[in-house]
Amino acid sequence: MKFKAIVADIDGTITCEKRELHLGAMKKIRSLKIPVVLATGNTLCYARTASRLIGLEGAVIAENGGAVTVRFDLQGTFEESLEECEKAYSFLSEYFKLTKLDPLYRKTEIALRRDFDLEKARALLKTQSLDIEMVDTKYAIHLKSTKINKGVGLQKLAGMMGLEAEDFVAIGDSENDVEMFEASGFGIAVANGDEKIKEAANYVTDASFGDGTVEAIEFLESNGWI
Ligand SMILES: O=C(O)COP(=O)(O)O
Ligand SMILES: [Mg+2]
């Protein structure tokens, strides 16, 4: 096996427990000769800033696949409008007090503070004929189109880079990374990952958070896979 690029989730994967960037993971990522793409549920500007500050090329998947850019000098492309998400938000707001996160910067999905009963909200949402689902990243709950996810984003970005999604190794920590693992050639979950991502993974690290990402990259290097 030989892979041509890595796609790494941000929160919980290249960070420490309190969400600060993990310096060991930064150093390891910077030492690589292959492209590293960041994929996050967070906003496009957050992802681009992280890419810039880590020393990468600006290839990012943001808003769980809803927004993608391949370089800093190119604008992002956006897959979906917020219309259906807003309908779901209005509906759920009748039952819960919801707080939107960074609404000014989100163009394709709505992120919510994790302070309401997700399972109850999921059950309620099912009664509506909306193509909207809820994913929990452990940092936010995202109301998003069922048509977009990080896997769809990876297919799109890989094409823009002249690669296939299978050329990528994906590293992640939660359920919003599952489709990205499925689309990629090999998925590695860090030890702090949730049950869903560990189940979807080809390999689970012993170490957590950024230490897990360092371990993942060393594992790939020691096998000669990157
Ligand atoms: O913004 C969030 O919910 C966290 O996003 P990430 O773990 O996909 O980076
Ligand atoms: Mg994450």
Which of 3.40.50.12240, 2.40.110.10, 3.40.190.10, 3.90.1070.10 would CATH assign to domain 83-145? 3.90.1070.10
The C-alpha atoms of residue 217 and residue 28 are separated, in whole angstroms, by 8
- The residues, any chain, with a CB within 8 Å of residue 79's CB and separated by 6 or more, are 65, 66, 67, 68, 108, 145, 147, 148, 152
Residue 148 clears pLDDT 90, i.e. is over it: yes
**Nearest CA-CA partner of 143 in 162, 172, 116:** 116
Mean pLDDT, all residues of the chain: 97
CATH architecture designation of domain 5-78+148-222: 3-Layer(aba) Sandwich (3.40)
Q: Please report the pLDDT score of residue 49 as a whole number.
A: 97
- Is 177 annotated to bind a ligand? Reply is yes
Our answer on whether the CB atom of 205 is closer than 6 Å to any ligand 1 atom is: no
**pLDDT of amino acid 81:** 83
Which one, of 84, 101, 175, 107, lies nearest residue 136 by Cα?
A: 175
Q: Is 9 tagged catalytic?
A: yes
Please tell me whether 11 is known to bind a ligand: yes
Tell me if ipTM is over 0.90.
Answer: yes
Domain boundaries, the chain: 5-78+148-222, 83-145
Q: Going by CA atoms, what residue is nearest to atom 7 of ligand 1?
A: 11
